[in-house]
């Protein structure tokens, strides 16, 4: 299998912060797709002359958000390279980013026909369905992918995230377990496990899992790290609520301070973030007497 990497907002996670724009935690696939493409630069496994013509140029434009120009380059070389998995994946990524999901799926279906033993197009197709909030289709595609192309951590995470969307946490955890068996340090599996704890009201366990994810922060992109800090802040905020209700004022205030600290970390990374400052105001308004 060729090396590949995520090159846009990769997999998870919108913040779980009541009283803000999001009332429940949802995987970030509703707003940004985990796109797996043959990695550029140091991760590319082929010699430069073996790459599809103008691929790097089209990839650079995609990464800059110039989807139409990226597609124009792909169209220019596509007729002579219809079987190129790389071009199909990149075309699909561009169409998905533009919200043209029928086109994105069509490229992946052709790609699966041309490369039935490759995992990349199957992960991509599952992710496209996931972005469309179609968890059952996501599960079906990922299961077929495992049967045809072999077990893979990203296919397991696609299934886990779909079950998370359906609030079927036991099912989600089973596939998280299998994902971690394949990659014990996978930050997204650890993160999703923390979100399940958060949804279930097990805030201390959620905090523990989020800290494990923070220990692997080099695997996260900017948006993911911002949302992770917000989720960590919310876990500490809710722990503070529980301690205050139990008349442990000192420990409750300490957890509130931790929450504000994590919200501020998010704000430093993304000064335009709307959730973090609202969360800080909410914690500061908590009665602690």
Contact 55, 91 (CB under 8 A): no
Alpha helices in the chain (DSSP H): 55-63, 67-78, 85-97, 101-114, 120-131, 135-149, 153-165, 169-182, 187-199, 203-214, 222-245, 249-269, 275-284
Q: What span, in angstroms and rounded, lies between the C-alpha atoms of 98 and 112?
A: 22
45: pLDDT strictly greater than 50: no
Lowest mean pLDDT among 12-16, 235-239, 276-280: 12-16
35: pLDDT strictly greater than 60: no
Q: Label residue 288 by pLDDT band (50, 70, 90).
A: confident
Report the pLDDT value the prediction gives residue 117, as an integer from 0 to 100.
94
Lowest mean pLDDT among 42-56, 101-115, 171-185, 202-216: 42-56
Contact 28, 240 (CB under 8 A): no
pLDDT in tens, 97-132: 999 999 999 999 999 999 999 999 999 999 999 989
% of the chain with per-residue pLDDT over 90: 74
Report the pLDDT value the prediction gives residue 2, as an integer from 0 to 100.
33
pLDDT in tens, 224-266: 899 999 999 999 999 999 999 999 999 999 999 999 999 999 9
Specify which residues 266 forms β-bridges with: none
Tell me 203's DSSP state: H
Domains of the chain, start order? 1-184 (1.25.40.10), 186-289 (1.25.40.10)
Q: Label residue 289 by pLDDT band (50, 70, 90).
A: low
pTM of the predicted model as reported, rounded to 2 decimal places: 0.84
């Amino acid at each position: 299998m060729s090396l590949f990497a995520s090159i846009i907002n990769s997999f998870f996670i919108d913040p779980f912060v009541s009283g803000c724009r999001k009332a429940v935690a949802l995987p970030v696939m509703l707003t940004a797709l985990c796109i797996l493409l043959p990695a550029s630069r140091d991760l590319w496994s082929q010699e430069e002359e073996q790459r599809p013509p103008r691929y790097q140029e089209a990839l650079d434009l995609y990464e800059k958000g110039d989807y139409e120009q990226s597609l124009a380059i792909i169209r220019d070389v596509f007729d002579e390279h219809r079987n190129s998995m790389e071009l199909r994946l990149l075309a699909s990524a561009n169409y998905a980013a533009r919200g043209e999901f029928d086109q994105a799926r069509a490229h992946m279906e052709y790609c699966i026909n041309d490369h039935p033993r490759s995992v990349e197009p199957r992960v991509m197709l599952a992710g496209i369905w996931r972005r469309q909030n179609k968890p059952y289709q996501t599960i079906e595609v990922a299961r077929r992918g495992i049967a045809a192309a072999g077990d893979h951590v990203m296919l397991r995470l696609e299934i886990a995230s779909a079950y998370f969307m359906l609030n079927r946490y036991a099912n989600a955890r089973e596939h998280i377990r299998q994902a971690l068996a394949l990659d014990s340090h996978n930050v997204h599996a650890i993160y999703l496990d923390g979100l399940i704890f958060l949804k279930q009201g097990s805030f201390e366990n959620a905090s523990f899992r989020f800290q494990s994810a923070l220990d692997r922060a080099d695997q996260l992109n900017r948006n993911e790290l911002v949302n992770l800090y917000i989720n960590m802040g919310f876990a500490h905020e809710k722990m503070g609520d529980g301690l205050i209700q139990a008349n442990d004022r000192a420990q409750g205030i300490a957890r509130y301070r931790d929450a504000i600290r994590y919200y501020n970390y998010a704000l430093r990374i993304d000064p335009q973030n709307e959730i973090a400052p609202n969360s800080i105001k909410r914690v500061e308004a908590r009665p602690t007497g």
